[in-house]
Chain A
Amino acid sequence: MSAVPNAPHDDILRLRVTAKDLETLRALLRETRSDTGGRPHHEADGRVGIDVYATAAQVPALEREGVTVTRAGNASEAGRAAQAEVGSGDRFAPADAVPRGLAAKLAG
């Protein structure tokens, strides 16, 4: 959502934005220049939803008639947790440390 710049430390939320139809969703995304993830999905009732990433301050700009905004999680918080799963140092620095893939090696 480039229309409203992020403050440096605002957390980014994962939102499920669902509109009454595809045209409404497109118009919303066009107007807000939202950061999206995934592709639009049609719900059983005909509504169309997509993931949008935005700060809490940006949520009101998404809310309007025919549109539902549901908070799916705090992407920044999950990102900080994921950062703890990033390697430190260099696990391949030793001469005999060669990356191995995850696939099973099958005889023959």
Chain B
Amino acid sequence: MPYLNVTEVESAVTSLATAYPVSSQLITLPETSYEGRTAHALRIGTLTRVPKSSLIMIGGVHAREWGSCEVLIHFAADLLEAHRDGTGLGYGGTTFTADQVEMLVNRLDLVIFPLVNPDGRRYSQTVQSMWRKNRNPANAGGSPNPDCVGVDLNRNYDFLFDFTTAFDPSADPQVSTNPCDPQVYCGPSAFSEPETRNVRWLLDQNPQTRWFIDVHSYAQDMLYNWGDDDNQSVDPDMNFRNSQYDGKRGLPGDLAYSEYIPKGDEDTARLLAEAFCQGVQGVRGVPYKPMTGFHLYPTSGTSDDYVYARHFTDPDRGKVLGFTIEWGNDQAQSPNPFHPPWAEMKKIVLDVDAGLVQFCLAAL
């Protein structure tokens, strides 16, 4: 099966919901994209009388990272089929028993949203393959420069959105207020885009969510909180809400600022990230690295930090640990690791899906 086009991602989700009515449910996202596309998610899990913990997975955020959708569609299809037929799952050298599959589907609520940015994917797959943002032209100001279209959705969440105030001027977070930045324009305001509002809606609709994974490429990493600075578990007052530290964030290894994370949360996040990486490596030996998002590069407005920040800004909300997968090999000889030849992408799908199953089992 070659790469899925936009229509096929949506029809794959609806087809799975129809084929597995006992263990899945179709979710229609409330907001359409700029080009009028409606997105769907799939809930996987058997019905129980007591609410179960949820894990939300999203993909297809950055348009050019095509395989993220395939990672999630194949993950869902494998789980549903194995659960129905009472089989285990084999991903190369990483295998799972039928009992493990059964336990996962019975005890977890998986919410899988494989294509957050359908307009961007459509544009990348048919026009400019390296396109990353969505296709909203509202901020272009009438400029004929094609780079002025779109917002980087993974800079549009409400976490240190005003990065020019929050960060040290020399920190250089990977984000821009320039609407014509071809890659990392954050948008005019947090949640200015329907695609990010859809993700927020999923979180609001699933208050029992405890984990969140955003699938991206590429670096062979499993990132966990935080992404704005180094972690520290000593001073709770040194945190993203404290304006006293404005202008000090984002520098590695300095004493001026590190982002607070309770030690128990960091330990749990690291263990889950390590479980993912172990699952991946067992398939064919590909090493993924667990690390905080900041160790990739400093960021603001990302999904993983937003979901974890929510329970600090509103204690009535449940705690959600945020993760970002960066699949794909930056040492590969391929001229474009964002969408490798499908023969290679199939191997990556197996790697990452094994890691996802391992992550789920570790989370239980």
Name A residues whose Cβ lies closer than 8 Å to a Cβ of B. 2, 5-6, 8, 12, 14, 26, 29-30, 33, 35-39, 41, 51, 53, 72-83, 85-93, 97-108
The answer to whether A30 touches B15, judged by C-beta atoms less than 8 angstroms apart, is no
A8 → chain B, closest Cβ, in Å? 5
Contact between B145 and A87 (Cβ–Cβ < 8 Å)? Answer: no
- B313 contacts the other chain (CB 8 A): no
| Residue among B16, B145, B146, B353 making CB contact with A98, cutoff 8 Å | B16
**What residues of chain B lie closer than 8 Å to A85, measured between beta carbons?**
2-3, 341-342
Q: Does B81 contact A (CB under 8 A)?
A: yes
A90/B11 contact (C-beta < 8 A), A2-B178, A85-B342 known = yes
A90 to B336, CA, bound (A): 26
Chain B positions near chain A (C-beta within 8 angstroms)? 1-5, 7-8, 11-12, 14-16, 19, 64, 66, 73-79, 81-82, 85, 87-91, 95, 97-98, 124-126, 128-130, 145-147, 172, 174, 176, 178, 180-183, 218-219, 221, 296-297, 330-331, 333-342, 346, 349-350, 353-354
CB <8 Å contact, B129 and A105: no
> Which of B75, B85, B296, B336 is close to A14, meaning CB atoms less than 8 Å apart?
B336
User: Do residues A5 and B330 form an inter-chain contact, with CB atoms below 8 A?
Assistant: no
Pair B172/A26 contact, Cβ less than 8 Å: yes
Chain A residues, Cβ within 8 Å of B19: 98
Count contacts between A and B, CB distance < 8 Å: 183
Q: Are B8 and A87 in contact (CB under 8 A)?
A: yes
Q: How far is the CA of A51 from the CA of B340 in the complex (A)?
A: 15
**Residues of the A chain whose Cβ atoms lie less than 8 Å from the Cβ of B12:** 92, 99
Q: Known: A14-B335, A78-B336, A91-B1. Contact between A99 and B16, CB under 8 A?
A: yes
Cβ of A7 to closest chain B Cβ, rounded Å: 9
Tell me whether A101 and B75 are in contact in the complex, defined as CB-CB below 8 angstroms, given that A2-B180, A77-B335, A91-B8 are known contacts: yes
Can you report 30 A-B residue pairs in the complex whose CB atoms are below 8 A from each other?
Answer: A2-B147, A5-B145, A12-B130, A36-B174, A36-B297, A37-B219, A37-B330, A51-B337, A53-B130, A72-B333, A75-B129, A75-B336, A79-B124, A82-B340, A86-B2, A86-B4, A88-B5, A92-B11, A93-B11, A97-B15, A99-B77, A101-B74, A102-B346, A103-B89, A104-B89, A105-B88, A106-B90, A106-B98, A107-B87, A108-B87
Residue of A nearest to B170 (CB): A30
Contact yes or no, A39 B296, CB < 8 A: yes
Provide the bound-state CA to CA distance between A5 and B145, in Å. 7
Report the minimal beta-carbon distance from B65 to chain A, rounded to whole angstroms. Answer: 10
